């Protein structure tokens, strides 16, 4: 009997306190001021982090764009090797262009498989389209995000002429490949709108020139030079404003020197 009473006393001591069972717990609620402070802190953190996230996203797009340009450069190098050292033309008619062809001068649909570089791109397709390119289209979705150098050749008389309407320049003619541009982020301004453009023109400061470099990567444009390196450049002058201005990255005094290789002596 004494042992039974001892066990009961031990169990009673181990039994949890039942005094608060069934009673609602009293937790301290946030005051209105505390809630406003928390909301304010979250807002400040969002304002700080959002530009960082956007900048990182834009940088990722620019990296993909540079990769496209490097692949275009590799394809161009292969084209040159297979064409006795000659660079490809911008176009040979109003139906055949460097990036493809269309059935008539009035058609807006292009066949990319006929582009000059297409056979050298392997399984890599649509590298002509910059991932950060979204202006108005001229060819029904056949965007040409990169512009090919329009003025690469000097004739024997010292005058520029369109590629495709004369003999193509030989790579050996380029005296300073590190300064001659092959491709760049391109666009043009027509009727106040920014739209795609497949070639680079002389700057607006030169006679008959107009801006054709599109600074769409955080205010910079990616450029492929004839030594096959890719760089991001800032505008020298712009014709439009905003986050993606169109303009030039060299002034008119340097444009011809950089864009037009000298003929061999």
- Tens of pLDDT along the chain (265 residues) come to 555 455 455 545 555 555 455 555 556 666 777 777 778 888 777 777 666 556 677 788 999 999 999 999 999 999 999 988 888 877 777 788 888 888 888 887 888 888 888 889 876 667 888 888 876 666 655 667 899 886 654 333 333 333 334 456 778 877 778 878 889 999 888 877 888 888 887 777 666 678 889 999 988 999 998 899 999 998 888 888 887 899 888 765 556 666 655 555 5
Whole-number Å distance between alpha carbons of 38 and 18: 37
Q: In what order do the strands lie in the sheet with 246-248?
A: 213-214, 246-248, 237-238
Domain borders along the chain are 129-259
Between the CA of residue 78 and those of 40, 117, 198, what are the distances in Å? 58, 9, 21
Query: What pLDDT does 30 receive?
Result: 67
Structure tokens at 71: 């692949």
Q: What is the pLDDT of residue 101?
A: 86
- Beta-strand ranges (E) seen in 19-102 are 96-97, 100-101
Residue 58, C-beta contacts closer than 8 angstroms, at least 6 positions apart: 132, 217, 218
d(CA 1, CA 22): 35
Q: Which runs of E-coded beta strand occur in the chain?
A: 96-97, 100-101, 146-149, 181-185, 188-190, 193-195, 199-200, 213-214, 221-225, 230-233, 237-238, 246-248
Strand partners, 224: 183, 230
Residue 73 confidence (pLDDT)? 94
Residue 155 near residue 161, CB atoms below 8 Å? yes
Helix (H, G, I), strand (E, B) or coil at 181: strand
CB 159 within 8 A of CB 219: no
Q: How many residues does the chain have?
A: 265
Cβ(117)–Cβ(75) below 8 Å? yes
| pLDDT for position 224 | 92
The whole-model pTM stands at 0.73
Give the Cα separation of 72 and 238 in Å (integer): 26
Question: How wide is the angle at C-alpha 99 spanned by C-alphas 93 and 100, nearest 5°?
Answer: 60
Task: Specify whether the CB–CB gap between 113 and 142 falls below 8 A.
Answer: no
Beta bridge partners of residue 195, listed in sequence order: 136, 188
Residues 6+ apart with CB under 8 A from 79: 87, 88, 116, 117, 120
């Amino acid at each position: 009997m004494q042992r039974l009473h001892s066990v009961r006393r031990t169990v009673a001591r181990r039994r949890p306190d039942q005094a608060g069972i069934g009673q609602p717990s009293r937790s301290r609620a946030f005051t209105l001021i505390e809630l406003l402070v928390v909301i304010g802190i979250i807002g400040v953190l969002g304002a700080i982090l959002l530009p960082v996230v956007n900048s990182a996203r834009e940088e990722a797009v620019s990296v993909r764009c540079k990769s496209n340009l490097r692949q275009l450069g590799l394809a161009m190098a292969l084209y040159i090797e297979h064409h006795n050292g000659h660079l490809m033309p911008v176009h040979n008619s109003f139906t055949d262009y460097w990036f493809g062809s269309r059935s008539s001068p009035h058609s807006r649909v292009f066949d990319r498989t006929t582009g000059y570089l297409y056979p050298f791109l392997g399984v890599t397709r649509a590298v002509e389209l910059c991932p950060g390119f979204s202006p108005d289209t001229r060819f029904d979705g056949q965007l040409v995000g990169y512009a090919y150098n329009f003025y690469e050749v000097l004739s024997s008389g010292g005058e520029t002429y369109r590629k495709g309407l004369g003999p193509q320049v030989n790579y050996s003619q380029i005296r300073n490949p590190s300064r001659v541009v092959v491709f760049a982020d391109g666009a043009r301004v027509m009727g106040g709108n920014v739209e795609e453009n497949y070639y680079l023109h002389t700057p607006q400061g030169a006679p008959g020139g107009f801006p054709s470099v599109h600074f769409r990567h955080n205010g910079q444009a990616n450029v492929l030079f004839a030594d096959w390196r890719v760089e991001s450049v800032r505008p020298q002058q712009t014709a439009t404003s905003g986050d993606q201005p169109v303009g030039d990255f060299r002034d008119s005094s340097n444009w011809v020197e950089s864009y037009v290789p000298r003929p061999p002596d």
